[in-house]
A and B are shown apart, each in its own frame.
Chain A
Amino acid sequence: MKKYLIILFVLLGFYGFSQQKIRGVVYENTEDDKNLPLLGVNVLWEGTTEGTQTDINGKFELDYRENAQLVFSFVGMRTETVAVTRGQELTVILYPDNMIEAIVIERKKANLSRNKASALNVTTISSGELLKAACCNLSEAFETNPSIDVNFSDAVTGNKQIRMLGLNSPYILIAEENIPAVRGASQATGLNFIPGTWVESIQVTKGAGSVVNGYESISGQINYELLKPMNDIPLFVNAYASTDSRYELNTHINKKVSDKWATTLFLHGNTRTSEKDMNHDHFLDNPLGKQINVLNRWQYTNAEKGWVSFLNLRYMNDEKQSGSVYFDKDRDKLTTNYWGSEILTEKMDASAKVGYVFPDAPWKSFGFQNSFNSHNQDSYFGLREFNIHQKSFYSNLIYNSILSNTLHKFSTGLNFTYDGYDEQVDNLSGTTMTDFSRKDNSVGTFFEYTYDNNDDFSLVAGVRLDNHNRLGTFVTPRIHTRYTPWAGGTLKASVGRGVRSANIFAENQHLFASSREFKILNTGGKIYGLDPEVAWNYGVSVMQNFKLFGKNAEVIADFYRTDFENQVVVDLYANPQEVLFYNLDGSSFANSFQLEFNYEITHHFNIRTAYKYYDIQTDYLNGRDSKPLQAKHRFFANIGYETHVTDKGKQWKFDWTMNVLGKQKLPYTGSNPLAYQAREFSETLTLMNAQVTHSFSPVFEVYVGGENITNYQQDNAIIDAHNPFGTYFDSSMIYGPVFGSMYYVGLRFKIDK
């Protein structure tokens, strides 16, 4: 691309020309490199429409102006700007504007992108990726991302659990717009109460993560951002129906009230109406239920002054019923007629965030976040009741700025949290309830320093100091580094410490659907008699981009180790009729290795594959053993293909995902009678999902898909289903889908102004 130069000949006005005029000639440079005078060239003072035009000889004359520039423009020629000084005689040559209209190839941001520049091991999942999952709420949004393992819902609660680095979701800090959200009473169920259509993007961080959001993250952090009213479209409607009788409706209504205020009303409803029992064990494969979920968001943005504010008000009511197909909740509740379970959840949230960015110093900002939550769960599983009501308050004040320049950033702040639990648990079916009500509060401060040498190295080093009435006073330092040794290569390493209190009943409530007695073996600690969970997480990640047959490919290898200083061990090996909770005595660690290979055959045709290896072992009472219901080897593959969007907005999208799970060790049932024993290991299972979407126009699209297309069903999912009030009943040993193949259809309707 040749650059065209201006050749300026400046002659001093010595010939008695009046010093108050600017004169000159404008030439056109032709294809055979001749300079010809050009008529009609606009000669204007910069930033104005005042000036003159050249005459037939290319000449012009203007009155002099101080400290101004003249702009010479003519159609088809490259515009030139010249600064003038007193008494100048100008000669300007204009060259043809041959620059090809820069075809803006709008490289659509990949749906799933690893953030290479960050020192943290972060992957961003965009809304495009969320559309690929069958459904419906956040717990199902990770099915196409290999870094998070989505496990299977048990037949009773219908909740899908997620895992990172092999560790269950309680060890992941899940935050909504940087405010910890899924925790405490909602730990196991919270993700199911966030509709997928509300989410704008999700950031998944492997390893301990940043100290800014809290001290509780051990294996990772998940932060999801909701749609912002200022950027949203006026109307969005999504309807969904599936062969497992699940129906959903989402409606978003958005209004820009003024240039500074915008609001969106999110409405969600879902229901499952009919009873399905595909494996004929007389137990429902999926819970019946209904949910209503409403969120109203307000956003205030004043870009010139630098203020941004969000206000959220939310209400959710969810009812689930499961158990025997003959169970009638009005007639059989808490009786031995038939085994049934109901989980009734009601949530209310109010949160407000205010941010201020200094207009002349954009690296300096304040943020003040406040959130009040009420989460009530009233439930029973057969004869066993479990009620937990939690009221929480969270407040965080953050200040961001730089030390000397933007290569050295820091973040610091103060944090306050309060949790009031009203909790009653029935340890053993049909006996008395034990009260575990308590109040928790903590105060903390943090400091995080980010260094980027603008070249090949960056570092995030943070430390938190917190004082919690049950966890004590403790420090959680974390450090993340990134180094780019050569083009396309990235090396990351991190070390971090996390501390949390285990809400043993809320986190393990799926175990209530069994005959197991819940026993807590320690009494000295402050959290149900147990001690805080403390762990160190170390990890390295190596990434390399390269060209394979001329196309973009990347290889990523991650290795992480989580080492528990103390863990609340959930022991399913000691006795099939018990679940024991005790402080770790010995070691407990989780090693996870992930190897990913991603290949971009065309920009619209992507293949992702991953192999994961987990080695998770704990010292139980009976000795060291590997974690139950955890596959050592997992393999993941995803193929996505999209056609070009036509002028009318038509497009086809195809997506296929496969997961292969190696054998998993099952909880011990050796002391049960032979008929009620599970095998020691499950078999290897292969699962497939696929989805086809067709957009008829930018306004309307339809999608069809299937989950578990190979129709895998776990046999013998429930131990002793015929005798649910007996000693051997256990419906919690789920290692694969119970339901079989499921097909669904949905539509999305948008009005974009």
Chain B
Amino acid sequence: MKQLILILALVFSFASGQAQEKKDAKKKKNVEHVISVNGNCEMCKKRIEKAAYSVKGVKSAQWHQDHQDMHVIIDETKTSIDEVHQAVAKAGHDTKKAKADDKTYEKLHHCCQYERLKDN
């Protein structure tokens, strides 16, 4: 009897956990995000946008040099904004949420080597 109650309790908590997830996962097909991406010149624009487009589910990506940010419209049922952060960082450009690997950064064309935010 005790075991049964225990199992029931486990299942119940698990199920309620699931229900919770379903409630706040209302994914939309066209969601606009503005993320800050560091970069220096027009050459960087192509690389940054290309990296964003390489993520399946990214519908539109436009990087603006003057604001150092990128407007992205993604299909949340296919991807998430974090994947975009990762893809851009992988190409060598820091974003607020993801940093580029030092080796990749060094490989960038010298005009593209933007000043990196150092945080300890």
Chain A interfacial positions (CB closer than 8 Å to B): 3, 5, 8, 358, 360-363, 402, 404-407, 454-455
Give Cα A454 to B115, complex, Å.
25
Which of chain B's residues have a CB closer than 8 A to the CB of A360? 30-32, 73
Which of chain B's residues have a CB closer than 8 A to the CB of A405? 53, 58-61
Name the one of B30, B49, B118 contacting A5, with C-beta atoms under 8 angstroms. B118
Tell me whether B102 is interfacial, beta carbon within 8 Å: no
Which of chain A's residues have a CB closer than 8 A to the CB of B53? 405, 407, 454
Give Cα A360 to B56, complex, Å.
18
Say how far A574's CB is from chain B's closest CB, in angstroms: 59
Give Cα A3 to B46, complex, Å.
23
Which of chain A's residues have a CB closer than 8 A to the CB of B56? 404
Give Cα A689 to B115, complex, Å.
55
20 further A-B pairs in the complex, CB-CB below 8 A; given A5-B118, A360-B73 = A5-B117, A358-B30, A360-B31, A361-B59, A361-B73, A362-B60, A362-B73, A363-B60, A404-B56, A405-B53, A405-B58, A405-B60, A405-B61, A406-B59, A406-B60, A406-B61, A454-B46, A454-B50, A455-B46, A455-B50
* B58 and A3 form a contact (CB under 8 A): no
Which of chain A's residues have a CB closer than 8 A to the CB of B59? 361, 363, 402, 404-406
Say how far A456's CB is from chain B's closest CB, in angstroms: 9
Say how far B23's CB is from chain A's closest CB, in angstroms: 20
Give Cα A455 to B49, complex, Å.
10
CB nearest to A8 among chain B residues = B119
Give Cα A145 to B43, complex, Å.
33
CB nearest to A364 among chain B residues = B30
Chain B interfacial positions (CB closer than 8 Å to A): 30-32, 46, 49-50, 53, 56, 58-61, 73, 115, 117-119
Give Cα A21 to B46, complex, Å.
44
Give Cα A284 to B64, complex, Å.
61
Give Cα A8 to B119, complex, Å.
8
Q: Which of A358, A363, A405, A454 has the most CB atoms of chain B within a 10 A radius of its CB?
A: A405
CB nearest to B50 among chain A residues = A454
Give Cα A3 to B117, complex, Å.
10
Give Cα A363 to B61, complex, Å.
12
Instruction: Offer 27 A-B interface pairs, CB within 8 angstroms, sorted by A.
Output: A3-B115, A5-B115, A5-B117, A5-B118, A8-B119, A358-B30, A360-B31, A360-B73, A361-B30, A361-B59, A361-B73, A362-B73, A363-B59, A402-B59, A402-B60, A404-B56, A404-B59, A405-B53, A405-B60, A405-B61, A406-B59, A406-B60, A406-B61, A407-B53, A454-B49, A454-B50, A455-B46
Which of chain B's residues have a CB closer than 8 A to the CB of A454? 46, 49-50, 53
Give Cα A60 to B56, complex, Å.
46
CB nearest to B60 among chain A residues = A406
Give Cα A455 to B59, complex, Å.
17
Say how far B50's CB is from chain A's closest CB, in angstroms: 6
Give Cα A402 to B118, complex, Å.
39
Which of chain B's residues have a CB closer than 8 A to the CB of A455? 46, 50
Which of chain A's residues have a CB closer than 8 A to the CB of B58? 405
CB nearest to A406 among chain B residues = B60
Which 10 pairs between the two chains have the least Cβ-Cβ distance? A360-B30, A406-B60, A361-B30, A3-B115, A405-B59, A455-B46, A405-B53, A454-B49, A405-B58, A454-B46
Give Cα A8 to B59, complex, Å.
36
Which of chain B's residues have a CB closer than 8 A to the CB of A8? 119
Which of chain A's residues have a CB closer than 8 A to the CB of B49? 454
Which of chain A's residues have a CB closer than 8 A to the CB of B31? 360
Give Cα A94 to B25, complex, Å.
41
Say how far A729's CB is from chain B's closest CB, in angstroms: 64
Give Cα A361 to B32, complex, Å.
9
Which of chain A's residues have a CB closer than 8 A to the CB of B115? 3, 5
Give Cα A22 to B49, complex, Å.
38
Say how far B33's CB is from chain A's closest CB, in angstroms: 12
Which of chain A's residues have a CB closer than 8 A to the CB of B61? 405-406
Which of chain B's residues have a CB closer than 8 A to the CB of A358? 30
Say how far B112's CB is from chain A's closest CB, in angstroms: 14
Say how far B67's CB is from chain A's closest CB, in angstroms: 13
Give Cα A3 to B32, complex, Å.
29
Give Cα A358 to B32, complex, Å.
13
CB nearest to B28 among chain A residues = A360
Say how far A307's CB is from chain B's closest CB, in angstroms: 18
Which of chain B's residues have a CB closer than 8 A to the CB of A402? 59-60
Say how far B4's CB is from chain A's closest CB, in angstroms: 41
Say how far A473's CB is from chain B's closest CB, in angstroms: 36
Which of chain B's residues have a CB closer than 8 A to the CB of A407? 53
Say how far A7's CB is from chain B's closest CB, in angstroms: 9
Give Cα A8 to B117, complex, Å.
11
Give Cα A235 to B89, complex, Å.
53
Give Cα A405 to B117, complex, Å.
31
Which of chain B's residues have a CB closer than 8 A to the CB of A5? 115, 117-118
Say how far B30's CB is from chain A's closest CB, in angstroms: 4
CB nearest to B62 among chain A residues = A406
Say how far A306's CB is from chain B's closest CB, in angstroms: 13
Give Cα A406 to B57, complex, Å.
11
Give Cα A404 to B53, complex, Å.
9
Say how far A357's CB is from chain B's closest CB, in angstroms: 12
CB nearest to A10 among chain B residues = B120
Q: Which of A3, A8, A402, A406 has the most CB atoms of chain B within a 10 A radius of its CB?
A: A406
Which of chain A's residues have a CB closer than 8 A to the CB of B117? 5
Give Cα A253 to B30, complex, Å.
41
Give Cα A533 to B92, complex, Å.
56
CB nearest to A83 among chain B residues = B96
Give Cα A360 to B60, complex, Å.
11
Which of chain A's residues have a CB closer than 8 A to the CB of B46? 454-455
Say how far B1's CB is from chain A's closest CB, in angstroms: 44
Give Cα A5 to B118, complex, Å.
9
Which of chain B's residues have a CB closer than 8 A to the CB of A406? 59-61
Give Cα A499 to B32, complex, Å.
43
Give Cα A406 to B52, complex, Å.
11
CB nearest to B55 among chain A residues = A405
Give Cα A362 to B73, complex, Å.
10
Which of chain A's residues have a CB closer than 8 A to the CB of B119? 8
Q: Which of B46, B60, B61, B117 has the most CB atoms of chain A within a 10 A radius of its CB?
A: B60
